[in-house]
Amino acid sequence: MARHRSKGQGTLFKRDGHGPWIASWYDHSGKRREASTRTTDRAAAERILSKHVADTALRRDGVIDARSDGYSAADRKSIANHLIDWRDSLLAKGVTARQVALLQTRVKVILDAVKATRPSDLSASAIQTAIGELSSGDDGWGLQTCQHYLRAVKQFARWMKRDGRTRDDVLSHLSGFNASTDKRYERRPLEADELTRLVDAAENAPTWRGMTGPDRAMAYRVAAGTGFRVNELRNLTKDSFRLGDDPPAIALRAAHSKRRRDDRQPIRDDLADILQGWLASKPDDRPVFSDMPEKTAMMIRLDLRRARAQWIREGVNQADRRERRESDCLAVEDSAGRLIDFHALRVTYITLLVRGGASVKVAQELARHSDPKLTLNTYTRLGMNDLSGALDALPAVSSKEPEREALRATGTLGKGPDDPQLYPQQLGRETVRSRANRRDGVSTVPQSRHHEIVNARKGESDIVPVSATPCDKAADRTRTDDLRFTKPLLYQLSYGGVAVQL
């Protein structure tokens, strides 16, 4: 059947000349739309078409927000489908499949906890309540775990808003948790001697889960000398080691770096010398640490126990060995509850850099962090010895010099003309504000001043203004704001009912 066109008012037609009328029109964005009217009555079909055309005009003129249609369509879609779309977008951005799977799992746990099936089911209060319930009890989540899950679901909600699937980001105002108040898993750095003994023990240890002892020892050396993470070590090839450069370095491609940048990490010359001979036996077609097992925490703890047992056996006597067994040296878990795993080698690397005097910027760059707070607060572990050692840079606060102590011991300290203790009365007057004791235009003075006046009347001495200070502009004069000295003839002293003219 021929189509009926009506000058921008849409079109009605039937497919193959029979069946219900099909309405065709152009929406507010200029895109052609078709929808079945589900009726064979032409008059009814025209009314339906007119309704579509009128709605298009309202959206085109801004009377109706066209984005509301997109929000409604997205809300009719299952939130599980939105989660799949989010996963695909993360993979398209270059996020590793392992990280995407971890984020997706965390979001799914929270969505299941709040029983959300549509985007409109997400609410800040429901998310906060669900996380609170999961963290309650003795076996509940730690605050650090809660922080990871909250960050993942907030990232998902933020993507929904930016992709035009929801009108607002309803979780944007949710604040994180202070994980430092509830640390369930804290790593500790190895001391230099502990690291040396760990490497020596692994060097002579048998193969464990396909990785030889020398290869494990080299992995510990590289991790503690570069701060590389486990997955970054697994992707190092022979071409990654630039041992002939000045300084020698290990290059890490952006695809294998956690921060997705091409990194060139400098290393010490002694580490470069050890790597030179070790790399000679490695194949060119696969990573040098390809045999590293998945359970790296179990691997390093096994070598750590082996090193600790060897260290305890080196005790000179039974008391010494008992003391070593009770210490934290080479212990998997110390007395403070801090643990050792493979990532603790990265903590060791950053902590030793800070202890060595590296500036905040240098430590941040070598740790390959975007925020210095992460470098100093999370990865740096300083003890009381480190903190007290830094106090040596402060100046001494004592003002007692050895010479002054010697003079005080002989009783000759402060007996010169500048000793304030020789003039206690003058010192007392100098600390009193001038005119502070004036009443009714007549000032009262202490009795010591009366003795000076009496002596002056007897002719025994002249009145000398002891509180006067030298004037820089008139070296031969004194200057004071006390009227007794600036205008003596106008000053009267009333003492004991007798007026004395000065």
| Lowest mean pLDDT, pick from 87-91, 203-207, 253-257, 334-338 | 253-257
Average pLDDT of the residues in 376-389 = 56
- Phi, then psi, of 167 in degrees rounded to 5: -70, -40
Q: Give the highest mean pLDDT range of 59-68, 110-119, 138-147, 375-384.
A: 110-119
pLDDT at residue number 444: 47
Whether residue 486 has pLDDT greater than 60: no
Whether residue 184 has pLDDT greater than 90: no
- The token duo for 319 is 């008391």
Whether residue 418 has pLDDT greater than 70: no
The DSSP 8-state label assigned to residue 209 in this structure reads: T
Q: Is the dihedral of CA 188, 191, 197, 199 positive or negative?
A: positive
Average pLDDT of the residues in 430-457 = 48
CA atoms of 346 and 375, how far apart (whole Å): 11
DSSP of 10-32: -EEE-GGG-SS-EEEEE-TTS-E
Domains delineated in the chain: 4-64 (no CATH), 79-181 (1.10.150), 192-387 (1.10.443.10), 420-501 (no CATH)
Tell me the CB-side half-sphere exposure of residue 490, using CA atoms within 13 A: 6
Whether residue 449 has pLDDT greater than 70: no
DSSP of 413-476: TT-STT-GGG-HHHHHHHTSPTTTTEETTEE---HHHHHHHHHHHTTS-----TT-EE-SS-TT
pLDDT at residue number 182: 63
CA atoms of 438 and 426, how far apart (whole Å): 19
Asked whether 240 and 289 are in contact (CB, 8 A), the reply is no
pLDDT at residue number 7: 53
Residue keyed to tokens 């004395």:
500
pLDDT at residue number 401: 54
Whether residue 429 has pLDDT greater than 80: no
CA atoms of 197 and 201, how far apart (whole Å): 6
Average pLDDT of the residues in 442-459 = 48
Average pLDDT of the residues in 211-218 = 95
Average pLDDT of the residues in 353-372 = 82
Asked whether 342 and 299 are in contact (CB, 8 A), the reply is yes
Tell me the pLDDT tens digit for each residue of 148-173: 899 999 999 999 999 989 988 989 88
Tell me the pLDDT tens digit for each residue of 230-253: 999 999 999 999 998 888 999 988
CA atoms of 257 and 228, how far apart (whole Å): 9
pLDDT at residue number 479: 53
Closest CA to 194 of 350, 354, 295, 331: 331
Asked whether 182 and 142 are in contact (CB, 8 A), the reply is yes
pLDDT-based confidence at residue 411 (cuts at 50, 70, 90): low
pTM: 0.58
pLDDT at residue number 218: 95
pLDDT at residue number 482: 53
